[in-house]
Amino acid sequence: MSRMVQCVKLKKEAEGLERPTYPGDLGKRIYLNISQEAWKMWVGHQTMLINEYRLTPVDPKARKFLEEEMEKFLFSDNATMPEGFVPEEDNS
């Protein structure tokens, strides 16, 4: 049976992550409060940030930026969108 969490991002009960996906206290907070669906949304947003800002994830500055953005994306409504970014239309 899947572990259920009250997802703070989606504001509903949903399947929790199978294991911690990030180290430290932030990782524990994510594991306890973020669903698989919300984490998948973050991974997509992170990919967009890396591509749009041409970040190198091994660069300490980029890692710090991505960690701050991850916390904003998952736990508030203040996620950063690149200037002029226009999301693709969903044609499904």
CA distance 16 to 40: 11
Q: How confident is the model at residue 91 (pLDDT cuts 50, 70, 90)?
A: low
Q: How do strand 12-15 and strand 4-7 relate by DSSP bridges?
A: antiparallel
Class of domain 4-75 as given by CATH: mainly alpha
Residue 92 has pLDDT above 60, yes or no: no
- Provide the pLDDT for residue 83: 75
Interval 45-87: pLDDT, tens: 999 999 999 999 899 999 999 999 999 999 998 787 777 766 6
Domain segments of the chain as ranges = 4-75
User: For residue 7, what are the β-bridge partners?
Assistant: 12
Distance, in Å, from the CA atom of 53 to the CA atom of 45, rounded to the nearest integer, reads 12
Nearest to 38 by CA among 10, 15, 67: 10
CA distance 41 to 66: 14
